[in-house]
Structure 1
Amino acid sequence: MECIMECGIKNLAKKLNNILIEHIKNTVPFLKPKIDSLKSIEEERLLELGEPMDNMNRSEYLAVLVNYITKFSQQYQDIIDGKVFYKDRVDELKGGARIHYIFNDWYIKSLNDFSPLEMLTDEEIRIAIRNSSGPRGALFVPESAFETLIKKLINCLKEPSLRCADQVYEELLKIVDNCRIADMERFTNLKSAINEQVKILLKDCLQPTKEMIKNLMLIELSYINTSHPDFLNEHFMKNVYDKDNDYIDELDTVVHPKHNHKMLQRPKREYQETCGSNMNYSTIHHNNTYKEEMKMWKHKEDAKSFRNKEGTKITNINNNRENVFVLPVIPEKIIPEYSSSSKEIIEIDLIKSLINNYFNIVRKHIADAVPKAIMHFMVNTSRKTMQKVLISNLHNGELFNLFNECSSIKVKRNNCKKNLESLNQAIKMLAEIRNQEV
């Protein structure tokens, strides 16, 4: 009898319905978090898509435009200042940190690795000295030779400095591309217009930046300050003196012992007197006079034989005629002999020391001034003027076209709204099932 009461389609339907409700109740704790997660995703997506702006007047469009421009400008500054958190690729430098890398680990490091003396050969230095001496020759190293060579090396700093400005400009363009305002992405025309105006602004900032860098180079080239306190200081003078004394010691076996003592005493006494007074460029030349005499003494016999050999070239034209001198033809391009005299060796070493010391002063100044110029004329200027430039250039345009959405955005917004309605209905049904008695 009990079995008959439980049979039938009606009882079967009731039994199956109770089993289903019990199963749903058991799975509700797992379904509710999933539905809430899907709802949160759809709400964020709908927020990004924003509300339609088809029925707005010009003042409302203008207010929205100013709001987007303000957000964009602020995000540009935050990325440069390092105030933006990046969810992806936390193992690499971003934003302003890349600009710092360009200045310190790329530009300044390259300047410090540059060796000025690698750009000049001893032969080039020797020819520069001879060209600067004029027809009379020079008793001391001519200062014009030093200026000619150091200016050539200072010019080598121009292109790397301009390239540094270009590199920072490219990084700022990357920052602009990474600026994303969530609900502005749907307005492709507005985004393109803002990016275009910002790139024009950065281009306008790049030009004065490069002009300033060129002016920095011209400033260094316009006046070679040999009176700079770090140029001919006591430490540098002592190094030059010690280096030349080492060279004199190598000639000690050649010079007669009786003369050797007198010759070595005089430069030493003069160095002590020089260090006690003001040292300048001509002082180095004066101290080297006696050292040059000793080096020239070594080649005295060779010089005599050279003069005897080259002094008179006699050709017998006829037995009935007198002997006459015949001079060789002067070539169009005059290249001095490759072998340097001991005087020229001293002059070359002195010029090298002067070049290296003065170039370090210029390099230190350029390495400090160029990044400052880039920051002032390009980075900081773009930050300060971006909002003003964007508003002034965009508010007079066709605002309706700027806020025109593409058809795909409208379709996505409608789908999000439908999905949210379905998810809300599902949450409501789960709540009813949870409260229903079996």
Structure 2
Amino acid sequence: MTQSVPVGDQPSNIELQIRELILKYISNPNSIILAVTAANTDMATSESLKVAREVDPDGRRTLAVVTKLDLMDAGTDAMDVLMGRVIPVKLGIIGVVNRSQLDINQKKPVADAIRDEYAFLQKKYPSLANRNGTKYLARTLNRLLMHHIRDCLPELKTRINVLAAQYQSLLSSYGEPVEDKSATLLQLITKFAAEYCNTIEGTAKYIETAELCGGARICYIFHETFGRTLESVDPLGGLTTIDVLTAIRNATGPRPALFVPEVSFELLVKRQVKRLEDPGLRCVELVHEEMQRIIQHCSNYSTQELLRFPKLHDAIVEVVTSLLRKRLPVTNEMVHNLVAIELAYINTKHPDFADACGLMNNNIEEQRRNRMRDQPSTVPRDKAAAGGSQTGPVSEQTEGGMGNWRGLLKKGEEALTGERPVPLNPLPASPQRGHAVNLLDVPVPVSRKLSAREQRDCEVIERLIKSYFLIVRKNIQDSVPKAVMHFLVNHVKDCLQSELVGQLYKTTLLDELLTESEDMAQRRNEAADMLKALQKASQVIAEIRETHLW
């Protein structure tokens, strides 16, 4: 029966606190509930039985105890209660007579109290004397406990074994106390270096399933991120027709050029090739970031022993980070040189470029023939202009040794020479002179429409730039990943262990690096004690046999 009214300085919710305390224990399905009720109260209003019914509605683990049988009113007895006629309880109802407060004050022995209790039961309840009393209650509780243990034994064994395995794993993660610090340090360094390299190679023990990491992510950076970025670079991006025309004119000097100058092509194609450097440097940066992430991956999944030694963990991270930091400028410089190499020599004899020039050469020649065929033969000026261009084939024959590149430019010039309009009246030269004066302020007039020759010159240069740019882009797409692998990834893999050993494997650093965290030793001891207790419990359960039940 719980206390309902606070007394003295007790909290106002004393009833609720007591109830919660009782429920905390009797809610356990493996517990036996002892519901105690005084005989001089109404069993129908018993608070203990009421609470027991809440967690054990079937009464399978509830035993009722009726106390104070000697204090019942004259003319009344607990016969009906003890027989289970008032409130039936499956585990039974047992009546007892405890020592009174006077007996306690007078220090009456427990043996005398039990003897007097038995005498009272023989006198008052002779037919029930052998099924009541403190002795019978003790034997009944022992019997119930043994039956209950046997019923719960399989589940208890399973739970103990599971907990023992968990604590064994936990204890293993804490590691044994360090005896040989030198060997332990070398072992941890070697294991970390091996796991770092294995993560790059894809042979690590712990494979990440949530996202790409290590070598797989580096591969993705090379062939997806970097590759797509290069493919998205427009060969003619940032280059307008006016830019091309301006470069052509600047390359001719003070004299008008008969042919498109080669230097204009080189000037413009170098400008476009230079744009491939930034994606290459970004590729290096992404690989560097991934190799930095591998450090954390190894710490979390592969070498948990490092968590025991936070100073060693920090030192390893610092050494690897420093090594990566040292390799970054070397790799960036190599990527810069790869682009600089392409800029240093524009190989117009490259087989792929020569093939492209030949194809464009044929297209331009065919277009020229089509235009000449479609021109009206009644225009004498056009005929004269076309006749004036006959020196072109002669020049082409004399310079044919320069290959398709020169031939392409010359044929383009020839085609344009036939189309360029010849003014009927050459006298009005002042507009041309006035226009030349304006060129001092605006080198290329952008307000007027380009002539046919200017348009053709620009188209030729743009096609050549695009053809050569694609060749260089293909080279860069192949060479940058190789450079990153050689100067950054493989170099770190090859030098990592020697770098760690050289920086950390020192006698003066042993004690500092192998200092455990403050609570590691305490947690190890607690886990060891808990493991011993579970092993002992498992042994006790294994020894339980059929025993005599009272």
1:333 corresponds to: 441
1:362 alignment counterpart: 472
TM, length-normalised to structure 1 = 0.85
Alpha carbons of structure 1 residues 332 and 428: separation in structure 2 relative to 1, 3 Å = same
Unmatched segments (≥5 aa) in structure 1? 314-324
Structure 1 residues 252 and 61: CA distance shift in structure 2, 3 A: same
Distance 1:183 1:329, change over 3 A: closer
Secondary structure at the counterpart of residue 258 of structure 2: coil
CA distance in 1, matches of 2:219, 2:436: 63
Please point out which of 190, 197, 218 is paired with 1:77. 197
Preserved CA contact (<8 Å) 2:412 2:457: no
Match of 2:528 in 1: 417
Instruction: Give the % identical residues.
Output: 33
- The 8 Å contact of residues 386 and 417 in structure 2, kept in 1 or not, is answered as no
CA contact (8 A) 1:147 1:224 kept: yes
- The structure 2 residue matched to 1:113, chosen from 202, 209, 232, is 232
Which of the pair is proportionally richer in helix? 1
Per-residue displacement from partner, 1:12-59 (whole Å, max 9, x unpaired)?
321221111111111111111111111111111111111223xx4xxx
Q: How does 1:329-408 map to 2 (within 5 A)?
A: 332-338=440-446, 339-396=449-506, 397-408=508-519
Q: Which amino acid aligns with 2:145?
A: L
Q: Which residue of 2 aligns with 1:144?
A: 263
1:357 counterpart letter in structure 2: S
Structure 2: gaps of 5 or more residues:
1-125
Letter in 2 for 1:157: L
Question: Residue 251 and residue 30 in structure 1: after superposition, are their counterparts in 2 closer, same or farther (change >3 A)?
Answer: farther
Q: Which residue of 2 aligns with 1:64?
A: 184
Structure 2 CA distance for partners of 1:418 and 1:62, relative to 1, 3 Å: same
Deviation per CA, 1:163-211, whole angstroms, max 9, x where unpaired? 1101100000000111121222110000000110010111112121111
Indicate if the aligned counterparts of 2:364 and 2:412 stay in contact, CA closer than 8 A.
no
The residue aligned with 1:206 is: 328
Q: Cα RMSD between the aligned structures?
A: 3.1
More off after superposition, 124-133 vs 286-295:
286-295
Higher relative contact order (CA 8 A, sep 6+): 1
Give CA-to-partner distance per residue, 1:398-418, whole Å, 9 cap, x none: 210101112211221121112
Q: CA deviation at 1:312?
A: 8.2
Moved more, 336-345 or 192-201: 336-345
1:291 to 411, 415, 419: 415
| Alpha-carbon contact 1:24-1:433 (below 8 Å) kept | no
Q: Secondary structure at the match of 2:445?
A: coil
> For 1:80 and 1:87, how far apart are their aligned partners in 2?
11
Radius of gyration: which is bigger?
A: 2
Q: 1:428 to 1:76 in 2, by over 3 A?
A: same
- Post-superposition offset of 1:328: 8.1
Pair 1:388–1:375, CA change in 2 (3 A): same
**Contact in 1 for aligned 2:259/2:409 (Cα 8 Å):** yes
Alpha-carbon separation, structure 2, partners of 1:389 and 1:189: 17
Aligned pair count reads: 409
Check conservation: 2:280, 2:480, Cα contact below 8 A. Answer: yes
Aligned counterpart, 1:228: 350
Contact conserved, 1:47 with 1:183, CA < 8 A, in 2?
no
Q: What is the TM-score when the length of structure 2 is the normalising length? A: 0.68
* Aligned mates of 2:132, 2:434 — CA distance in 1: 144
The 1:312–1:395 alpha-carbon spacing in structure 2 relative to 1, beyond 3 Å, is closer
Are 1:430 and 2:538 matched, yes or no? no
Q: Deviations over 1:196-239 (max 9, x none)?
A: 00101111121211111111111111110001111021x54224
Range 120-129 or range 202-211, more displaced: 202-211
Q: What CA distance in whole angstroms lies between the structure 1 residues aligned with 2:436 and 2:272?
A: 38
